[in-house]
Amino acid sequence: MSITLNSPLDMHLHLRDGEMLSTVAPLSAKTFSGAIVMPNLVPPVDTKEALLAYKERIGLAIGDETFKPYMTLFFKPTYTKEFLESVRDELTAIKLYPAGITTNSEGGVAGFDVKELRPTLTAMSELNIPLCVHGETNGFVMDREAEFVSIYEMLATNFPKLKIIMEHITTKESVEALDRFENLYATITLHHLLITLDDVAGGMLQPHLFCKPIAKRPEDREALRKVAFEAHPKVMFGSDSAPHPQHAKESSGCAAGVFTAPIAIQVLTELFVEHSTIENLQAFLSGNAQSIYSNISVPNKRIILEKEPYIVPTKYGEVVPLYAGESINYTIKEIES
Amino acid sequence: MSITLNSPLDMHLHLRDGEMLSTVAPLSAKTFSGAIVMPNLVPPVDTKEALLAYKERIGLAIGDETFKPYMTLFFKPTYTKEFLESVRDELTAIKLYPAGITTNSEGGVAGFDVKELRPTLTAMSELNIPLCVHGETNGFVMDREAEFVSIYEMLATNFPKLKIIMEHITTKESVEALDRFENLYATITLHHLLITLDDVAGGMLQPHLFCKPIAKRPEDREALRKVAFEAHPKVMFGSDSAPHPQHAKESSGCAAGVFTAPIAIQVLTELFVEHSTIENLQAFLSGNAQSIYSNISVPNKRIILEKEPYIVPTKYGEVVPLYAGESINYTIKEIES
């Protein structure tokens, strides 16, 4: 029996720049119809010029009209309504990072002062620009996301017309927040559906499974699985696929990120089949995102998979993917666009 | 002002074997008067012959009469009273590992069936041989030690004359158990007084800080600090210094262990001075252990430290120590024996 998925979308993706961009962008472009592209380059993408130039570099790296990079700006509270209007047609969302919380986030928001944030967030509400948020405080690593829920609530309450996407959620607290506020949405990664902290640090320490937010407890994974497998209308797939060269992972200070882009669709298929919810994968992987991001255009693409072992490459360029060298159970047999 | 410490003891130490033994044993022998030597070699030290041969190899590696290796056997429920009597003079304690819980522990105890354990543990009680325990279940990595407390309680209750050492405790639950049972004792490492999971995985992932049991939450560290700094009579220093070559740490599957032996005394001094409890370090580092292990002979050694920066070597052989290449604040100026 083959499984067909239409126009998969990756609503949280790191494409990096330069050589890494050339390595990873075609891998996403091959199987996805589009992806929300994160702006945490060095320096961050925070001007119209930088955004357009990055979009052009992505286009050159991909050379494929069947994939849309949905561009984002790195949130700054100094963005004016005039500026946002001028860039509106080029961008899909704005990504907010708390300062210093993950890779290249040093220039992020240092406090969450509503008064300071109000002009930009009000303009975003009026222009219907979604706010994507990396929701972690600088507290203890296992508590950061749960602690951030109060900030989500503050944002959701103060800006009720702003679409707020809780990115790569990892906790039951975030899942619970989804239903409390109409304007809160979430992306969920593949790896957070698969692993807990036990997989990262319960046996040998596994740097290739180290990411931010760090994988949490079994009950957190259960909460994520529940809303993903039922394709809760407020959740959508975002891989947070985040490539680092092998030497930056297997090192005395290992960078955060799991690289899943080339195998995400296959492994999601396996996972949803295993949990007898394959009929919901289309919504999780595309439909929900199209409803939430009402303003995106989505190229047609049809992915046909079969249950057939596929050996994951040990590396893509210098990047070690999830399940490197291991066998996964679904193979992409055809891609039509 | 100089600080003098007499006959420091390391009540939990991994000396390994072969080349690694030659690298690390002299480092401990230089500054400590003795150490409980862990038996988790491959194969484990579980016969009198293996124990004597290992003791001899340690002696050759050290070539120093001012350091006593306190030998241990790898616990097996098949040890008879006759066997234990025959080996009594050669060993200081027996170390129990739950099966598969840490480096080279595959042959450990798979269940905790009192009936199965009773003959050996009763014989140990009668012969006054302490039982050292790696207290972790195979549960979720952050819960393993707290879950194991019920097994400590079962052992303490069923074998009230057996001295049970909770090794390298990392949680407030273990600290609390200390005062509930007369025959429970504990070792505490240097690194668990210093770090929490935040230091391991809160920023970049730090493989050289990865150990088992994994460092826990800030409130756990506080509980450990409290009993260490007050030199609670039932706790003693055990470094759990556990060398692995650099390539086994900075790797796609990083081995568990922090190497602290050559700097432990200096950093403990700094830590106790910082917390205005330097007057308790002698007891934590030697006196308590001598009371708890009533049967050990302790060579005289006098360590004189001064507050003077010391740059920690980046490596000892192939082993990267804690604080590699960094400056610590106390230096050993003289060692008299």
Q: How many CB atoms lie within 10 A of CB B314?
A: 11
Q: How confident is the model at residue A136 (pLDDT cuts 50, 70, 90)?
A: very high
CA closest to A321 among chain B residues: B252
Which structure tokens are listed for B222?
A: 């506080």
Would residue B46 show up in a list of annotated catalytic residues for this protein?
no
CA closest to B213 among chain A residues: A202
pLDDT tens for each residue of A242-252: 999 999 999 99
pLDDT of residue A105: 80
Chain A interface, mutation test: which of B197, B217, B252, most A Cβ atoms within 10 Å? B252
List of residues 6+ apart from A135 with CB closer than 8 A: A145, A148, A149, A151, A152, A166, A167, A169, A174
Chain B interface, mutation test: which of A199, A205, A211, most B Cβ atoms within 10 Å? A205
CA closest to A208 among chain B residues: B252
pLDDT tens for each residue of A276-303: 999 999 999 999 999 999 989 999 999 9
Answer whether B252 sits within 8 Å of A253, measured CB to CB.
no
Where along chain B do its domains lie? 10-261
Mean pLDDT of B162-169: 98
Which CATH number describes the domain made up of B10-261? 3.20.20.140
Answer whether B208 sits within 8 Å of A252, measured CB to CB.
yes
* Nearest of A87, A53, A93 to residue A74 by alpha carbon: A93
Contacts of B197 in chain A (CB under 8 A): 140-142
Answer whether B252 sits within 8 Å of A142, measured CB to CB.
no
**Contact present, A78 and A72 (Cβ < 8 Å):** no
What is the share, in percent, of chain B residues with pLDDT greater than 70?
100
Q: How confident is the model at residue A337 (pLDDT cuts 50, 70, 90)?
A: confident
Mean pLDDT of A208-236: 98
- Across the A:B interface, residue pairs with CB atoms under 8 Å apart total 79
pLDDT of residue B101: 77
pLDDT over 80 at B103, yes or no? no
pLDDT over 90 at B106, yes or no? no
Phi, psi of A124 (to 5 degrees): -65, -40
Answer whether B253 sits within 8 Å of A206, measured CB to CB.
yes
pLDDT tens for each residue of B196-227: 999 999 999 999 999 999 999 999 999 999 99
Mean pLDDT of B5-22: 98
Q: How confident is the model at residue A1 (pLDDT cuts 50, 70, 90)?
A: confident
pLDDT of residue B99: 87
Shortest CA gap A102–chain B (Å): 8
Contacts of A210 in chain B (CB under 8 A): 201, 205
Helix (H) or strand (E) holding B131: strand B131-133
Shortest CA gap B315–chain A (Å): 13
Mean pLDDT of B121-126: 98
Shortest CA gap A329–chain B (Å): 23
On average, the pLDDT of chain B sits at 96
CA closest to B209 among chain A residues: A252
| Cα A41 to Cα A210: distance, rounded to the nearest angstrom | 20
pLDDT over 80 at B240, yes or no? yes
pLDDT of residue A101: 77
Answer whether A214 sits within 8 Å of B206, measured CB to CB.
no
pLDDT of residue A265: 98
Shortest CA gap B325–chain A (Å): 13
Plot region of A277 (φ>0 → left; ψ -120 to 50 → alpha; else → beta)? alpha
Mean pLDDT of B264-284: 98
Mean pLDDT of A195-220: 98
Mean pLDDT of A11-34: 97
Chain B interface, mutation test: which of A252, A258, A315, most B Cβ atoms within 10 Å? A252
What global pTM score does this model have? 0.95
pLDDT of residue A8: 98
Contacts of A255 in chain B (CB under 8 A): 204-205
The fold adopted by the segment(s) A11-264 is TIM Barrel (3.20.20)
Helix (H) or strand (E) holding B116: helix B114-126
